[in-house]
Amino acid sequence: MIEKICEIIDNEYSCDIDITVEEWKELLNNPNVFDDKSKEALKKWYIEPGHSATCSDIGKKYNEHSMSANGVINGLAGRVQKELGRFEVKGIGNIAPGTRFIVVMKSKMIGAKSKKWIWTIREELVQAIEELKIFQEDSYTDEELIMNIEESCISSSTPPFEYMGVSKKKRQPVSILNKLLYPRSHKVSKNALRHANYMCEIDNNHPTFTRRNSELNYTEPHHLIPMSYQGDFNVSLDVEENIVSLCCNCHKQIHLGQGFEIMLKKMYGERKDLLTKVGIHISLNDLIILYKKEKV
Ligand SMILES: [Zn+2]
Ligand SMILES: [Zn+2]
């Protein structure tokens, strides 16, 4: 076993980690190395500018102890090292001999006085994540969802989508900026837009425009029962049956404008039976109350 020395040179952790993109891809696909918990922790860095952040910033953002993500990354790095079985990192000088995170991250000191260490995901790992599209399945807000659907080109050759009529298990929320946010799958929203044939479901004649990256009409997915109320339901709200395709004008109106009750009445009338089939039970009155109660 090779010992790789990790030391601080010019306020930066220095260690010759030579894991290739291909190796990272294999490791990412191995659930014994990258379990859900470590992917979740890694994603916290991945979504930051430059894939960089200090542990304390991550801790603050997610309302966790600053060492919590740190511990998960260290554990992950240990499993990576073990799985590869060709080297072991050894810290010298001020660095603890058992230091492992450096296998996954680079680390540099910022702010001479406060001595904060900013961690950056290794470039080869970032590339592997991008190539495998590891973190592109979900969005956590409506805005993100719309943006990400735009980025992931919709193809006209996608087969038509038919409702499955089966309820799905709800997923766990993620805490971001002290708010619990539920994941929304891109695939499910794309299915829903496809089902509506990329037209506004309030009125098929509402004008839209053609997407820049495909031949299809631009419409936006909207969760009829908003994802922010997922906690009140036993089954997933992120199902095609609960997602309507709206032109941008109607989408803004249903969130922000007057007359949303009329829009809800029409959508609800068309979806009521479909929603019941997938285990989502709500009356029109209660739905209207949800929209009045909180910013949707
Ligand atoms: Zn919406
Ligand atoms: Zn419309």
CA 251–ligand 1 middle distance (angstroms) = 6
List CB-based neighbours of ion ligand 2 within 5 Å: 200, 202, 206, 247, 250
pTM for the predicted model, two decimal places: 0.61
What is the reported pLDDT for 12?
Answer: 94
Residue scoring higher pLDDT (137 or 281): 281
Cα(269) to ligand 1 centroid in Å equals: 18
Q: Are residues 275 and 146 in the same domain?
A: yes
| Domain final position from 74, 109, 132 | 132
Same domain, 176 and 282: yes
Residue 192 DSSP class = H
Where among 77, 107, 132 does a domain terminate?
Answer: 132
Report how far ligand 2's centroid is from the alpha carbon of 285 (Å): 22
Ligand 1 mean position, distance from CA 293 (Å): 15
- Residues 152, 287, single domain; the answer is yes
* CA 15 to centroid of ligand 1, rounded, Å: 47
From the CA of 200, the nearest ligand is 2
Domain shared by 147 and 262, yes or no: yes
Instruction: Say what the pLDDT of residue 296 is.
Output: 57
Q: Which ligand is nearest to the CA of 296?
A: 1
Q: Which residues contact 6 (CB under 8 A, 6 or more apart)?
A: 13, 14, 15, 89, 90, 91, 92, 95, 99, 102
- For residues 181 and 174, the answer to whether their CB atoms sit within 8 Å is yes
Ligand showing the shortest atom-to-Cα distance for residue 255:
1
User: In angstroms, what is the span from residue 218 Cα to ligand 2's centroid?
Assistant: 11
For residue 82, the domain's CATH number is 1.10.10
Ligand 2 centroid from CA 255, angstroms? 13
Query: Which residue, among 244, 245, 191, 243, has the nearest Cα to 218 in the 3D structure?
Result: 245
Q: For residues 38 and 111, state if they share a domain.
A: yes
Q: What is the pLDDT of residues 201-246, one digit of tens each?
A: 999 999 999 988 788 899 999 999 999 999 999 999 999 999 999 9
pLDDT by residue (tens digit) across 77-135?
999 999 999 999 999 998 989 899 999 999 999 877 777 899 999 999 999 998 887 88
Binning pLDDT at 50, 70 and 90, where does residue 294 land? Answer: low
Q: Domains in the chain: how many in total?
A: 2
Ligand that lies nearest to the alpha carbon of residue 145, given by its number in the listed order? 1
Same domain for 147 and 117: no
Token pair for 277? 């089939």
Nearest ligand to the CA of 189 is 1
User: What was the pLDDT predicted at 163?
Assistant: 93
Rounded distance from Cα 239 to ligand 1 centre (Å): 14
Query: What distance in angstroms lies between residue 263's CA and the mean position of ligand 1's atoms?
Result: 13
Among the three residues 132, 156, 173, which one is the final residue of a domain in this structure? 132
- What is the per-residue pLDDT across 15-44, written as a single tens digit (0 to 9) for each? 999 999 999 999 998 989 999 899 989 999
Q: How far is the CA of 276 from the centre of ligand 2 (A)?
A: 25
Q: Are residues 149 and 128 in the same domain?
A: no
- Mean pLDDT: which of 67-76, 155-164, 241-250 is highest? 241-250
User: Same domain, yes or no, for 142 and 287?
Assistant: yes
Which ligand minimizes its atom distance to the CA of 242? Answer: 1
pLDDT greater than 80 at residue 156: no
Q: Tell me: do 176 and 252 sit in the same domain.
A: yes
- Do 214 and 163 lie in one domain? The reply is yes
* pLDDT at residue 184 in the model: 93
- Distances in Å between the alpha carbon of 22 and those of 19, 100, 124? 8, 21, 9
pLDDT band at 253; cut points 50, 70, 90: very high
Could you read off the pLDDT of 169-192 as tens digits, one per residue? 998 887 777 778 899 998 899 999
- Give which of 245, 228, 133, 251 is closest to 182, Cα–Cα: 228
Domain limits at 75?
2-132
